Amino acid sequence: DQQVKQNSPSLSVQEGRISILNCDYTNSMFDYFLWYKKYPAEGPTFLISISSIKDKNEDGRFTVFLNKSAKHLSLHIVPSQPGDSAVYFCAASSVQGGKLIFGQGTELSVKP
Amino acid sequence: DAGITQSPRHKVTETGTPVTLRCHQTENHRYMYWYRQDPGHGLRLIHYSYGVKDTDKGEVSDGYSVSRSKTEDFLLTLESATSSQTSVYFCAISRDYEQYFGPGTRLTVT
């Protein structure tokens, strides 16, 4: 049973446009959500997170939105840049320092 | 940079042989994790540790064991490697809610 799902394996956008990556979860006990970015042959790097008490968190070009009623979160990248091309994983946790449950990943390609 | 190194970075081994992967951290974090990454599955937790000699299973622990005799080192052992354990293995540490990952070990079991 996949508790965290990223239903789009890939996404292609033009440079300068908005990239929207989506993630759905099923466990209502999750209270913290994270996005990671992964380049080939490297480990995932932490990008941005959001607590369940918030519905939005921004960090520069990256914004994460959380819709608890729909059990849905999204990552917006504005404007998209070719260097953003990578695999993006969403993850969820229910306790500080606890286990993360990851989605399958979405491969973003930003075309010049 | 969370000061995490993994060794070896690449390994090819034969079915049935034992393999040990090492994760080393320099920042004295209490929690450490081992994940495997496979296409279509994202990252799946194998085992984790919440202190020296304190470990627990993750969702895909069958065929794997771990040990943590020092805070800085977390070892993952495949007692008898199988082809289904061909994967990329990542170690991570935890700072509050976020986890930070090492560079990974690509393991191929032939």
Residue B28 Cα, gap to closest chain A Cα (Å):
14
pLDDT at B97: 82
The residue type of A62 is F
| Mean pLDDT of all residues belonging to chain A | 95
Residue A41 Cα, gap to closest chain B Cα (Å):
7
CB A14 within 8 A of CB A109: no
Average pLDDT estimate for A76-83? 98
- Distance in angstroms between the alpha carbons of the first and the last residue of chain A: 38
pLDDT tens string B57-105: 999 999 999 999 999 999 999 999 999 999 999 999 998 889 999 999 9
d(C-alpha A75, C-alpha A8), whole Å: 13
Pairing, β B105-109 against β B10-13:
parallel
Q: Which of B38, B50, B97 to mutate to test the interface with A (most CBs of A within 10 A)?
A: B97
pLDDT at A28 over 70: yes
pLDDT at A84: 98
CA dist list (Å): A28 to A94, B73, B85, B90, B99: 9, 34, 32, 27, 21
d(C-alpha A102, C-alpha B80), whole Å: 27
Q: Percentage helix, strand, coil, to 5, in chain A?
A: 5, 55, 45
d(C-alpha A104, C-alpha A69), whole Å: 22
pLDDT at A96 over 70: no
pLDDT at B1: 62
Task: Mark yes or no for CB contact B90/A43 under 8 Å.
Answer: yes
d(C-alpha A21, C-alpha A13), whole Å: 11
Average pLDDT estimate for A8-18? 97
Name every chain A residue with its beta carbon within 8 A of the beta carbon of B103: 42-43
Helix (H, G, I), strand (E, B) or coil at A24: strand
d(C-alpha A69, C-alpha A67), whole Å: 6
pLDDT at A74: 98
The residue type of B92 is A
Tell me which of B2 and A60 has the higher pLDDT: A60
